Structures are given as structure tokens and as C-alpha cells.
Structure 1
């Protein structure tokens, strides 16, 4: 399912126009992104939790040459599914 299909599904489920549903989806994604940028955790009970994990600096290998390269530390967003979502999928 891509974003357009997701917006259509939200519009049908919430009885909204596609434009209103698109705004709602964009607002939700924006709010989650903003919270993660600040370092907050976003928990949607029954759905899951969005967090940011720190990934330390490490040494990797260039696959073409085999030379060692330094990979900088970074922050990566992660999602952990909640129990209700896991139960619904299984």
C-alpha cells in the first residue's frame, strides 16, 4: 500500500474527502517526525511506539576495494509494534 492508497483508505474509513484525509495523514506524519527530531518517543497505544536510537560510529569495508572506511555515528528512527497490532497480523 502506498501513500495514495493509504489516504483513500483513511478517507473511506473516516468518511472524509480525499483532500481532508491527505491533510490528516500529512499532519500525523509531520507530528511524529517533529517529536522524533526533538528526541521524544511517540506511543500509539495498541499500534506501536516510534523511537530514535543512537547508532555508534564504526568501521566498515568498501565492497569494491575492500578498504576500511569510517562510518559516522547517526540517529535512526525505529518502530516497535504493539501487542494489538501483532495480534491482528498473526
Structure 2
């Protein structure tokens, strides 16, 4: 993992190179293809479920009234799609045990 505490695409590609033995170029291409496939599915409105990891789910949020916290003025919030992630139970267990 990078020194910043953030796992990047490059870190994933390097792990594939190191652990699986793919070349660095093949590893980077593989990571990009997997991410592109996931993004494409989400763009088409499909949910993405990775067993043992979690699910990326698209939700439709309807229009609602919000409030500007600075002025207190009510403003309409447009309907929109939001992406949520829900970790699998095994991932949550692993994270809690690691902490």
C-alpha cells in the first residue's frame, strides 16, 4: 500500500505483478479492464456484487426539500442516482478483527 494510506490502481497492479507473476503492463491492463467492466455495469443501471467483498448498489433518490444551513432558506434538491457500497459480512468481520 502507498505511504499515504490509500490503495491505488498502481498498488493493485503491483500486487498482481508480485503475487500472480503477470508483467507490470499486463497487471495494469487487467486492473483497468476490471474497473472499466464494473463502471460499465453501474452506468447501465446494474448492481455489482463481489462475493466476500461487498455490493455496489445504485439507488434513485426522489426530489426533496433541503435547507441551506447558512441562511436557513429552503431549496429543492433535484432527483438523482446515488451509488452506495455495502461491505459483505465477512469483510466487516475481517476489518473489525484487524482493528
Q: Same fold, TM exceeding 0.5?
A: yes
Counterpart mapping for 1:66-81 below 5 A: 66-81=72-87
Q: How does 1:33-52 map to 2 (within 5 A)?
A: 33-52=39-58
Deviation, structure 1 residue 46: 1.4
- Residue 88 of structure 1 corresponds to which residue in structure 2? 94
Q: Which runs of 5+ in 2 are unaligned?
A: 1-6
Q: How far apart, CA to CA, are the structure 2 residues paired with 1:76 and 1:10?
A: 31
Once the two structures are TM-superposed, the CA of residue 52 in structure 1 deviates from its matched residue by: 0.5
> Please, which runs of 5 or more residues in structure 1 have no aligned partner?
none
Q: Deviations for 1:50-81, whole angstroms, at most 9, x for unmatched residues?
A: 21111121122234433222111111111211
Give the distance between the partners of 2:72 and 2:16, measured in 1 at CA. 48
Q: Quote the residue 1:53 is aligned against.
A: 59
- Number of residue equivalences: 90
Q: Secondary structure at the match of 1:16?
A: coil
